[in-house]
Amino acid sequence: MLKSFFKYFFMVIITMFVFFPIVWLVSTSFKNPVDMFAVPPIFVPANPSFDHYATLFFEAGIVKYILNSVIVAVSTTLLSLVAGTLAAYSLARFRLPYRMNERLSFWVLSTRMFPPIVTIIPLFAMMRFFHLLNTRMGLVIAYTAFNLPFVVWMMRGFFMEIPEELEEAAMVDGDSRMSAFRRIILPIAKPGLVATSIFTLILSWNEFLFALILSQTRSAATLPIGVASTVTQYEIKWGEMSAAGVIAVVRVLIFAFVVQKHLVRGMSFGAIKG
Amino acid sequence: MQTEIKANMKNVTKRFGEVVAVNNISLDIKEGEFLVLLGPSGSGKTTLLRLLAGLEELTEGDIYIEDTLVNNLPPRHRNIAMVFQNYALYPHMSVFENLAYPLKIRKRSKEEIAKRVREVAEVLEISELFKRRPKQISGGQKQRVALGRAMIRKANLFLMDEPLSNLDAKLRVQMRAELRRLQKSMGTTTVYVTHDQAEAMTLADRVAVLNNGVVQQLDSPEEVYFHPVNRFVAGFVGSPQMNFFAGSYEEAKIKTDYFEYPLPPEVVKKLEKKGKVEKIYFGIRPEDVTVSKIEIEGAYNARIYVSELMGAESFVFFTIGNSVERFLSRTSPDFRGNMDESIWVSFKEDKIHIFDYDTDAAII
Ligand SMILES: Nc1ncnc2c1ncn2[C@@H]1O[C@H](COP(=O)(O)OP(=O)(O)OP(=O)(O)O)[C@@H](O)[C@H]1O
Ligand SMILES: [Mg+2]
C-alpha cells in the first residue's frame, strides 16, 4: 500500500517535471503579449488568441519549413533504413575473416562516439564543394550518414536474435538468400524495423545543428530552424516561437502515439524463437 | 530391382579454420534407403548433412546428387528437403502457410497447393492446426509440421538433423515408429542425423558411425552392433556400454589384470593368422556377462558393487579380482544381489570381442 503510494507519488512528480515545459509552451502560444510576462504567471489565458499561429502560417510561411522537414525526415529515414538494414544483415550473418564482423560493426558505431559538431566544418566545406548547401538533398545526405550507425546497430541486434535456421530452411525450401531475407527475415524483424524507423524519423525531425549550418535559406531550412528564426536581432518573438514549437512537438507526439504499440514491441523484441 | 545410387560423396573434407569437421569422407546413399549418421557430439554429423544440403561450402571433394555434381549449386537447386533440429517453422506464418511455403515459392496454383497441403496434413494428422501459429502448437505438433513441410514436394533427398531430440522420451519413441513407417511407405531416400544409438538401431537400413569427422563403420545396424570394426564403434553403439579389459594374448589365453580367459580353438586360429598379437583389449557386452550366486566351472569370482532392478532387467555392477574399475552385467530381473556379495561371472564364448591395443581395430 505504502509502496504503491510512493510509486505513484514519484510517477506524478516526474510526469509533472517532464510536462511542465510543454504545458508552458502550449499556453504561451495562445497568450497575448501582455499575459506572456504577467507576474504571477498565467497558466490558462483568459482570452486565448490565435494571432501567433496566424502570423506563422500567413506571414512567416511556416508551411515551407514543415514541408522541408517532412521531406528531409522521410527521405533520410527511407535511405538509412534501406542501406542500414542490408548492412546490418550482412554483419549479422556472414562470417568474414579476421573477426571483421565485430570490428566493422564497432567501427560503424565508433563514428557516433565523437560529438557531431567536430564534423561540421569539413562537412560544410564538402557540401559547398558539391553545391549541396541550402538544398534538402545536402541535409538528407548528412542526416543519413549520422543515422546509419544507429540503424545498423539496432537492426544487427534484431537480426542476430532471429535463428539462422529460418533462412536456411527457406533456402532449402527454394528461396535464394535475397528472397529468404525478403519473405522470411524482414517480416519477422518488422517490429524492429518500425521501431528503428521511428527513432530515425524523430531524430531527423528534431535535428538542429546541421540544419542550422547547412541550410540557411528557406529553400531547405527545416522546422527547428523556422522556430529558431523567431529569435531575431532585435527581439525574441516568444509567441510565435511557442506556436512553432507546438506545431513541431504535436506532430511528433501524434506520431509517437500512433506507433506506440510497435515501439513497445520493438523494444521487447526477441521472443520470436520457436 | 537394382539399387540405384541417389547421392554420392567423394573424398569430402570440410575445415573450419583449424578444425577439421569432416575428414575425407566417401559414401554412397542408395535410392530409398534410410541412412543414419551416428556419432558423439562434435563428430561432424551436422556438418556432413549441411554439406549435402548446400548450406556449407566444401573445402575439398565432390558431392553428386542423382549423378549431378552439386558442389557449387545453392540449396534451392538441389531439390532436397530438410527437417531442422529446432524445426525452423516460420513464426509469422500459420501452419497452413508453413506447409504451403515450398509450393508457393514454386508458384504452383492455389488449388494445387491447397490439395497437396490437405493430403500431407491428413497423413500427419495435423489438419485441425491449419490456422494456428507455430507458437500455439506443441513440440510434437511442430515436429509434424516440420516433417510435413519437407514432405510437401517430391524431393530427391530427405535430410533430418536430430529431429526428435527436442521431444520428451515417450513422444520420441512414438514419433520414431511413425517416421519409420512413413519413410517405408513413401520410399523417400533419407539421411538422418542422431547421437542416440537406439534411434539409429531402430530406424536405419544402414548406419554410418562417425567419429572426429571420419566414418568408422558403414553397415546394417546388426553388423554395427554385433561386429563392430573397432573399439570406438563397440563402445559407442550399445547402451549400457560394452565392458573393456586391457590385457594380452598368450598361448591361447587372454590374460588381463583380473582373470585369464581361455579362448576357443576357432578364435585362436584366427588370432594366429593375424600374426603377432600381444597387447589387446578384451570386450564383452553387459548382456553377454552371466552372473550366478553359486560357483560355476570356469566362472570368475567377483563382488557386487551395486545391483539395480530396472523392471524388465537387472543391472549388476561388479568388481572383479582387486579391480577398482566397475563392470556391468545385464541380467534377468530375478537376480537380486546385495552390496559386496560374492558372485561368479562368466562370458558367453561366442560373444567376445578382441581389439588391437594400439590401433583399436577389431581382431575378433
Ligand atoms: N560454423 C562453424 N565454425 C567453426 N567450427 C565449426 C562450425 N560448425 C561446426 N564446427 C566444428 O566442427 C566440428 C563438427 O561439428 P558438427 O556440428 O558437425 O558436429 P555434430 O556431430 O553435429 O555434433 P552435435 O551432436 O553436437 O550436433 C565441431 O568440432 C565443431 O566445433
Ligand atoms: Mg549436430
- pLDDT tens track for B68-124: 999 999 999 999 999 998 899 999 999 999 999 999 999 999 999 999 999 999 988
Q: Residue A8: is its pLDDT beyond 80?
A: yes
| CB of B42 closer than 6 angstroms to any ligand 1 atom | yes
Evaluate whether residue A99 is within a structural domain.
yes
Segments in chain B forming alpha helices (H)? 45-53, 95-105, 110-124, 139-151, 169-186, 197-203, 221-226, 231-236, 265-273
Q: Residue B45: is its pLDDT beyond 60?
A: yes
Evaluate whether residue B123 is within a structural domain.
yes
B12 and B134 inside one domain: yes
Residue percentage of chain B with pLDDT more than 90: 79
Evaluate whether residue A197 is within a structural domain.
yes
pLDDT band with cut points at 50, 70 and 90 for residue A35: confident
A128 and A254 inside one domain: yes
Q: Residue B148: is its pLDDT beyond 80?
A: yes
Evaluate whether residue B174 is within a structural domain.
yes
Strands B342-347 and B68-69: what pairing?
unpaired
Give every strand in the sheet of B342-347, ordered side by side.
B289-292, B342-347, B300-309, B314-320, B327-331
Q: Give residues with Cβ within 8 angstroms of B205, minimum separation 6.
A: B30, B33, B34, B35, B220
More confidently predicted of A46 and B196: B196
Evaluate whether residue B104 is within a structural domain.
yes
| CB of B86 closer than 6 angstroms to any ligand 1 atom | no
Evaluate whether residue B361 is within a structural domain.
no
Q: How many domains does chain B have?
A: 2
Among B185, B203, B236, which residue terminates a domain? B236
Q: Return the residue in A168, A172, A190, A194 with the most chain B beta carbons within 10 A, the one to mutate for interface testing.
A: A172
B282 and B153 inside one domain: no
Evaluate whether residue A26 is within a structural domain.
yes
Strands B60-65 and B5-16: what pairing?
antiparallel
Q: Return the residue in B99, B101, B143, B158 with the most chain A beta carbons within 10 A, the one to mutate for interface testing.
A: B101
Q: Quick one: average pLDDT of A15-22?
A: 90
pLDDT band with cut points at 50, 70 and 90 for residue A84: very high
A57 and A44 inside one domain: no
pLDDT band with cut points at 50, 70 and 90 for residue B285: very high
A219 and A244 inside one domain: yes
B54 alpha carbon – ligand 2 mean position (Å)? 16
pLDDT in the model for residue A269: 53
B230 and B247 inside one domain: no
B37 and B147 inside one domain: yes
Among B175, B203, B236, which residue terminates a domain? B236
CATH code for the domain in which residue B155 is found? 3.40.50.300
Q: Residue B291: is its pLDDT beyond 50?
A: yes
Evaluate whether residue A274 is within a structural domain.
no
Evaluate whether residue A267 is within a structural domain.
no
Nearest CA in chain A to B85: A165
What residue type is assigned to position A85 of the chain? Answer: T
B194 alpha carbon – ligand 2 mean position (Å)? 8
pLDDT digits 0-9 by tens, B268-281 = 888 888 877 789 99
B61 and B26 inside one domain: yes
A39 and A76 inside one domain: no
Domain span at residue B325 reads 243-356
More confidently predicted of A123 and A252: A123
A102 and A193 inside one domain: yes
pLDDT in the model for residue A263: 67
Q: Residue A127: is its pLDDT beyond 50?
A: yes
Q: Residue A266: is its pLDDT beyond 80?
A: no
Q: Residue B224: is its pLDDT beyond 90?
A: yes
Evaluate whether residue A268 is within a structural domain.
no
B172 and B302 inside one domain: no
CB contact A166 to B (< 8 Å): yes
**Measuring from atom 1 of ligand 1, which residue has the nearest CA?**
B16
**Measuring from atom 11 of ligand 1, which residue has the nearest CA?**
B21
A153 and A24 inside one domain: no
Evaluate whether residue B208 is within a structural domain.
yes
* Rounded CA separation B316/B296 (Å): 18
B196 and B327 inside one domain: no
Evaluate whether residue B112 is within a structural domain.
yes
B98 and B117 inside one domain: yes
Q: Residue A173: is its pLDDT beyond 60?
A: yes
Evaluate whether residue B363 is within a structural domain.
no
pLDDT in the model for residue A55: 85
CATH code for the domain in which residue A188 is found? 1.10.3720.10
pLDDT in the model for residue A110: 87
Evaluate whether residue A258 is within a structural domain.
yes
A34 and A128 inside one domain: no
Evaluate whether A221 touches A215 at the Cβ level (below 8 Å): yes
Evaluate whether residue A270 is within a structural domain.
no
pLDDT band with cut points at 50, 70 and 90 for residue A272: very low
CB contact A164 to B (< 8 Å): no
Q: Residue A267: is its pLDDT beyond 60?
A: no
Strands B300-309 and B314-320: what pairing?
antiparallel
Among A10, A33, A49, which residue terminates a domain? A49
A130 and A88 inside one domain: yes
Q: Residue B217: is its pLDDT beyond 90?
A: yes
B203 alpha carbon – ligand 1 mean position (Å)? 23
B228 and B270 inside one domain: no
Q: Residue B263: is its pLDDT beyond 70?
A: yes
Residue percentage of chain B with pLDDT more than 70: 99
B121 and B159 inside one domain: yes
pLDDT in the model for residue A113: 84
* Rounded CA separation B229/B237 (Å): 11
Q: Which of A11-20, A115-124, B83-92 has the lowest mean pLDDT?
A: A115-124
pLDDT in the model for residue A270: 45
A174 contacts on B by Cβ (under 8 Å): 76, 102, 105-106
Q: What is the H or E stretch that residue A89 is in?
A: helix A62-93
pLDDT band with cut points at 50, 70 and 90 for residue B2: low
* Rounded CA separation A255/B299 (Å): 87
Domain span at residue A5 reads 1-49
Q: Quick one: average pLDDT of A57-64?
A: 83
Q: Quick one: average pLDDT of A238-263?
A: 81
- Mean pLDDT for chain A overall: 86
CB contact A97 to B (< 8 Å): no
Q: How many domains does chain A have?
A: 2
A34 and A70 inside one domain: no
- Mean pLDDT for chain B overall: 92
CATH code for the domain in which residue B296 is found? 2.40.50.140
Q: Residue A209: is its pLDDT beyond 90?
A: no
Q: Residue B215: is its pLDDT beyond 90?
A: yes
pLDDT band with cut points at 50, 70 and 90 for residue A99: confident
Q: Quick one: average pLDDT of B294-316?
A: 92
A43 and A75 inside one domain: no
B187 and B305 inside one domain: no
Q: Do B92 and A171 touch (CB under 8 A)?
A: no
B218 and B84 inside one domain: yes
pLDDT digits 0-9 by tens, B198-213 = 999 999 999 999 999 9
Q: Residue B227: is its pLDDT beyond 90?
A: yes
Evaluate whether residue B364 is within a structural domain.
no
Omega cis (within 30) before B75: no
Instruction: Report the candidate in A172, A164, A167, A162 with the shortest Cα–Cα distance to residue A183.
Output: A167
* Rounded CA separation A70/A204 (Å): 9
Among B236, B267, B282, which residue terminates a domain? B236
Across the interface, of B74, B85, B134, the residue whose CB is closest to A274 is B134
